[in-house]
Structure 1
Amino acid sequence: MTEKRARGQAAESLARRHLEANGLRLLSQNWLCRRGELDLVMLDGDTVVFAEVRYRRHAGWGGALESVDARKREKLAYAAQQFLQQEPRWARYPCRFDVVAIDSMDGDTPPRLTWLKNAFDT
Protein backbone atom coordinates (compact mmCIF):
# COMPACT_ATOMS: atom_id res chain seq x y z
CA MET A 1 0.00 0.00 0.00
CA THR A 2 1.33 3.40 -0.92
CA GLU A 3 1.81 6.11 1.68
CA LYS A 4 -0.82 8.26 -0.05
CA ARG A 5 -3.36 5.41 0.04
CA ALA A 6 -2.59 4.77 3.72
CA ARG A 7 -3.19 8.46 4.55
CA GLY A 8 -6.46 8.34 2.62
CA GLN A 9 -7.64 5.30 4.53
CA ALA A 10 -6.64 6.91 7.83
CA ALA A 11 -8.63 10.02 6.88
CA GLU A 12 -11.70 7.93 5.99
CA SER A 13 -11.40 6.05 9.27
CA LEU A 14 -11.19 9.32 11.22
CA ALA A 15 -14.21 10.72 9.35
CA ARG A 16 -16.22 7.55 9.93
CA ARG A 17 -15.48 7.57 13.66
CA HIS A 18 -16.47 11.24 13.85
CA LEU A 19 -19.77 10.67 12.06
CA GLU A 20 -20.58 7.57 14.11
CA ALA A 21 -19.80 9.52 17.32
CA ASN A 22 -22.41 12.02 16.12
CA GLY A 23 -25.07 9.33 15.75
CA LEU A 24 -24.75 8.31 12.09
CA ARG A 25 -24.78 4.62 11.17
CA LEU A 26 -22.64 3.12 8.41
CA LEU A 27 -24.48 1.60 5.44
CA SER A 28 -21.51 1.20 3.09
CA GLN A 29 -17.88 2.25 2.77
CA ASN A 30 -15.93 2.67 -0.48
CA TRP A 31 -18.96 1.75 -2.59
CA LEU A 32 -17.87 1.51 -6.23
CA CYS A 33 -19.64 1.93 -9.51
CA ARG A 34 -18.34 2.30 -13.05
CA ARG A 35 -17.91 6.07 -12.91
CA GLY A 36 -17.16 6.76 -9.29
CA GLU A 37 -16.92 5.87 -5.64
CA LEU A 38 -18.81 6.81 -2.51
CA ASP A 39 -16.47 7.08 0.46
CA LEU A 40 -19.09 6.67 3.17
CA VAL A 41 -22.81 6.04 2.91
CA MET A 42 -24.38 6.66 6.31
CA LEU A 43 -27.82 6.88 7.85
CA ASP A 44 -28.62 9.99 9.90
CA GLY A 45 -32.02 9.31 11.43
CA ASP A 46 -34.09 8.62 8.33
CA THR A 47 -31.74 10.45 5.92
CA VAL A 48 -29.24 8.67 3.68
CA VAL A 49 -25.98 10.63 3.79
CA PHE A 50 -23.41 10.37 1.02
CA ALA A 51 -20.27 11.59 2.78
CA GLU A 52 -17.26 12.57 0.69
CA VAL A 53 -14.03 12.50 2.67
CA ARG A 54 -11.36 14.93 1.47
CA TYR A 55 -7.86 15.06 2.89
CA ARG A 56 -5.18 17.58 2.05
CA ARG A 57 -1.73 17.35 3.52
CA HIS A 58 -0.90 20.91 2.53
CA ALA A 59 -3.18 23.83 1.70
CA GLY A 60 -0.90 25.13 -1.06
CA TRP A 61 -3.29 23.95 -3.77
CA GLY A 62 -6.35 24.84 -1.72
CA GLY A 63 -7.75 23.12 1.31
CA ALA A 64 -9.63 19.85 1.47
CA LEU A 65 -13.03 21.54 1.44
CA GLU A 66 -12.23 23.58 -1.67
CA SER A 67 -11.19 20.42 -3.53
CA VAL A 68 -14.80 19.34 -4.08
CA ASP A 69 -15.46 21.10 -7.38
CA ALA A 70 -18.38 20.93 -9.80
CA ARG A 71 -16.90 17.93 -11.63
CA LYS A 72 -16.52 16.00 -8.37
CA ARG A 73 -20.07 16.90 -7.30
CA GLU A 74 -21.37 15.57 -10.63
CA LYS A 75 -19.50 12.28 -10.16
CA LEU A 76 -20.83 11.92 -6.62
CA ALA A 77 -24.40 12.60 -7.73
CA TYR A 78 -24.09 9.93 -10.42
CA ALA A 79 -22.63 7.40 -7.96
CA ALA A 80 -25.41 8.17 -5.47
CA GLN A 81 -28.04 7.55 -8.15
CA GLN A 82 -26.40 4.22 -8.94
CA PHE A 83 -26.31 3.30 -5.26
CA LEU A 84 -30.02 4.05 -4.85
CA GLN A 85 -30.86 2.00 -7.96
CA GLN A 86 -28.82 -0.96 -6.74
CA GLU A 87 -29.98 -0.62 -3.12
CA PRO A 88 -33.68 0.22 -3.65
CA ARG A 89 -34.57 -0.14 0.05
CA TRP A 90 -32.87 3.27 0.59
CA ALA A 91 -34.40 5.00 -2.44
CA ARG A 92 -37.53 6.16 -0.55
CA TYR A 93 -35.50 7.96 2.12
CA PRO A 94 -34.44 11.61 1.92
CA CYS A 95 -30.80 12.04 0.90
CA ARG A 96 -28.08 14.61 1.34
CA PHE A 97 -24.43 15.10 0.47
CA ASP A 98 -21.95 15.93 3.22
CA VAL A 99 -18.25 16.65 2.98
CA VAL A 100 -15.82 15.77 5.73
CA ALA A 101 -12.67 17.79 5.10
CA ILE A 102 -9.48 16.94 6.95
CA ASP A 103 -6.44 19.18 6.88
CA SER A 104 -2.98 18.70 8.41
CA MET A 105 -3.01 15.10 9.57
CA ASP A 106 0.78 14.99 9.95
CA GLY A 107 1.13 13.73 13.51
CA ASP A 108 2.68 16.92 14.91
CA THR A 109 -0.65 18.70 15.19
CA PRO A 110 -4.10 17.23 15.74
CA PRO A 111 -6.06 16.88 12.49
CA ARG A 112 -8.48 19.69 11.70
CA LEU A 113 -11.79 18.11 10.72
CA THR A 114 -14.63 20.11 9.17
CA TRP A 115 -18.00 18.42 8.65
CA LEU A 116 -20.16 20.29 6.18
CA LYS A 117 -23.74 19.00 6.09
CA ASN A 118 -25.79 19.56 2.93
CA ALA A 119 -22.56 20.57 1.23
CA PHE A 120 -24.07 20.89 -2.22
CA ASP A 121 -27.05 23.07 -1.31
CA THR A 122 -26.33 26.53 -2.68
Structure 2
Amino acid sequence: MNKRKIGAAYEMQAAAYLKKKGYRILEANFRCRFGEIDLIARDGAYLVFIEVKYRSSLKDGDSLEAVNRRKQRKIIRVAEYYLCMYQEKADLPCRFDVIGIEEERIRLIRNAFDCGS
Protein backbone atom coordinates (compact mmCIF):
# COMPACT_ATOMS: atom_id res chain seq x y z
CA MET A 1 0.00 0.00 0.00
CA ASN A 2 1.40 3.44 -0.88
CA LYS A 3 1.93 6.24 1.62
CA ARG A 4 -1.14 8.21 0.46
CA LYS A 5 -3.45 5.20 1.00
CA ILE A 6 -1.90 4.45 4.38
CA GLY A 7 -2.30 8.09 5.40
CA ALA A 8 -5.92 8.14 4.23
CA ALA A 9 -6.70 5.03 6.28
CA TYR A 10 -5.29 6.61 9.46
CA GLU A 11 -7.06 9.90 8.74
CA MET A 12 -10.34 7.94 8.55
CA GLN A 13 -9.49 6.30 11.88
CA ALA A 14 -8.77 9.73 13.36
CA ALA A 15 -12.07 11.10 12.00
CA ALA A 16 -14.00 8.23 13.63
CA TYR A 17 -12.19 8.89 16.92
CA LEU A 18 -13.05 12.60 16.75
CA LYS A 19 -16.70 11.88 15.96
CA LYS A 20 -16.88 9.81 19.15
CA LYS A 21 -15.49 12.84 21.00
CA GLY A 22 -18.29 15.03 19.58
CA TYR A 23 -16.51 16.67 16.66
CA ARG A 24 -18.45 17.14 13.43
CA ILE A 25 -16.18 16.53 10.43
CA LEU A 26 -16.67 19.16 7.71
CA GLU A 27 -13.79 18.39 5.34
CA ALA A 28 -11.18 15.73 4.80
CA ASN A 29 -7.98 16.41 2.88
CA PHE A 30 -8.67 20.04 2.09
CA ARG A 31 -6.08 21.00 -0.53
CA CYS A 32 -5.03 24.29 -2.04
CA ARG A 33 -1.89 25.69 -3.60
CA PHE A 34 -0.37 26.24 -0.13
CA GLY A 35 -0.74 22.65 1.02
CA GLU A 36 -3.25 20.39 2.72
CA ILE A 37 -5.12 20.09 6.01
CA ASP A 38 -6.05 16.53 6.93
CA LEU A 39 -9.35 17.26 8.68
CA ILE A 40 -11.50 20.32 9.33
CA ALA A 41 -14.22 19.97 11.95
CA ARG A 42 -16.53 21.77 14.33
CA ASP A 43 -16.07 21.16 18.04
CA GLY A 44 -18.75 23.17 19.78
CA ALA A 45 -18.25 26.81 18.81
CA TYR A 46 -14.78 26.14 17.35
CA LEU A 47 -13.71 25.56 13.79
CA VAL A 48 -10.85 23.10 14.18
CA PHE A 49 -8.03 22.41 11.74
CA ILE A 50 -6.57 18.98 12.47
CA GLU A 51 -3.26 17.44 11.45
CA VAL A 52 -3.02 13.64 11.66
CA LYS A 53 0.37 11.96 12.04
CA TYR A 54 1.01 8.21 12.06
CA ARG A 55 4.17 6.36 13.01
CA SER A 56 4.53 2.60 12.73
CA SER A 57 7.43 2.76 15.17
CA LEU A 58 9.21 5.33 17.29
CA LYS A 59 12.52 4.97 15.42
CA ASP A 60 11.61 8.07 13.36
CA GLY A 61 10.44 9.91 16.46
CA ASP A 62 7.13 10.51 18.14
CA SER A 63 4.22 11.15 15.76
CA LEU A 64 3.35 14.42 17.50
CA GLU A 65 6.92 15.72 17.14
CA ALA A 66 6.49 15.63 13.35
CA VAL A 67 4.30 18.73 13.52
CA ASN A 68 7.21 21.15 13.81
CA ARG A 69 7.15 24.94 13.35
CA ARG A 70 7.57 24.67 9.58
CA LYS A 71 4.59 22.29 9.33
CA GLN A 72 2.57 24.51 11.66
CA ARG A 73 3.18 27.57 9.45
CA LYS A 74 2.04 25.61 6.42
CA ILE A 75 -1.14 24.45 8.17
CA ILE A 76 -1.87 28.02 9.30
CA ARG A 77 -1.46 29.28 5.75
CA VAL A 78 -3.89 26.67 4.40
CA ALA A 79 -6.34 27.51 7.21
CA GLU A 80 -6.17 31.20 6.27
CA TYR A 81 -6.90 30.29 2.66
CA TYR A 82 -9.84 28.13 3.78
CA LEU A 83 -11.27 31.01 5.81
CA CYS A 84 -10.94 33.35 2.80
CA MET A 85 -12.82 30.84 0.65
CA TYR A 86 -15.55 30.28 3.25
CA GLN A 87 -16.22 33.79 4.53
CA GLU A 88 -19.24 32.61 6.53
CA LYS A 89 -16.82 30.71 8.81
CA ALA A 90 -14.29 33.54 9.14
CA ASP A 91 -15.83 34.85 12.37
CA LEU A 92 -15.74 31.50 14.16
CA PRO A 93 -13.08 30.98 16.81
CA CYS A 94 -10.43 28.66 15.37
CA ARG A 95 -8.17 26.06 16.90
CA PHE A 96 -5.39 23.78 15.67
CA ASP A 97 -5.45 20.21 16.98
CA VAL A 98 -3.02 17.38 16.32
CA ILE A 99 -3.72 13.66 16.43
CA GLY A 100 -0.82 11.26 16.80
CA ILE A 101 -1.33 7.58 16.00
CA GLU A 102 1.24 4.96 16.96
CA GLU A 103 0.19 1.34 16.53
CA GLU A 104 -3.21 1.19 18.29
CA ARG A 105 -2.70 4.30 20.41
CA ILE A 106 -4.41 7.57 19.45
CA ARG A 107 -3.47 10.82 21.18
CA LEU A 108 -5.31 14.09 20.69
CA ILE A 109 -3.76 17.41 21.54
CA ARG A 110 -6.32 20.19 21.51
CA ASN A 111 -5.04 23.65 20.74
CA ALA A 112 -1.62 22.18 19.91
CA PHE A 113 -0.40 25.49 18.47
CA ASP A 114 -1.74 28.87 17.51
CA CYS A 115 -1.23 31.41 14.76
CA GLY A 116 1.54 33.07 16.78
CA SER A 117 3.71 29.91 16.75
Band the TM-score falls in, shorter-chain normalisation: over 0.9
Query: What RMSD, in angstroms, separates the aligned Cα atoms of the two structures?
Result: 1.2
Deviations 1:58-90 (A, max 9, x none): 211211101000100000000000000001111
Q: Which residue of 1 aligns with 2:110?
A: 117
Q: CA–CA distance in 2 between the matches of 1:60 and 1:37?
A: 25
Q: Which residue of 1 aligns with 2:20?
A: 21
* 1:30 aligned partner, one-letter code: N
- Structure 2 residues not aligned, in runs of 5+: none
Using the size of structure 1 for normalisation, the TM-score is 0.90
Q: Which residue of 1 aligns with 2:66?
A: 67
Q: CA–CA distance in 1 between the matches of 2:4 and 2:76?
A: 24
Q: Which residue of 2 aligns with 1:45?
A: 44
Q: CA–CA distance in 1 between the matches of 2:37 and 2:66?
A: 16
Between the two proteins, what is the percent identity of the paired residues?
41
**Structure number having the greater strand percentage:** 2
Q: SS where residue 117 of structure 1 aligns?
A: strand
**Structure number having the greater helix percentage:** 2
Structure 1 outlier segments of 4+, above 6 Å: none
Shift of 1:49: 0.3
Shift of 1:9: 1.1
Q: Which residue of 1 aligns with 2:32?
A: 33
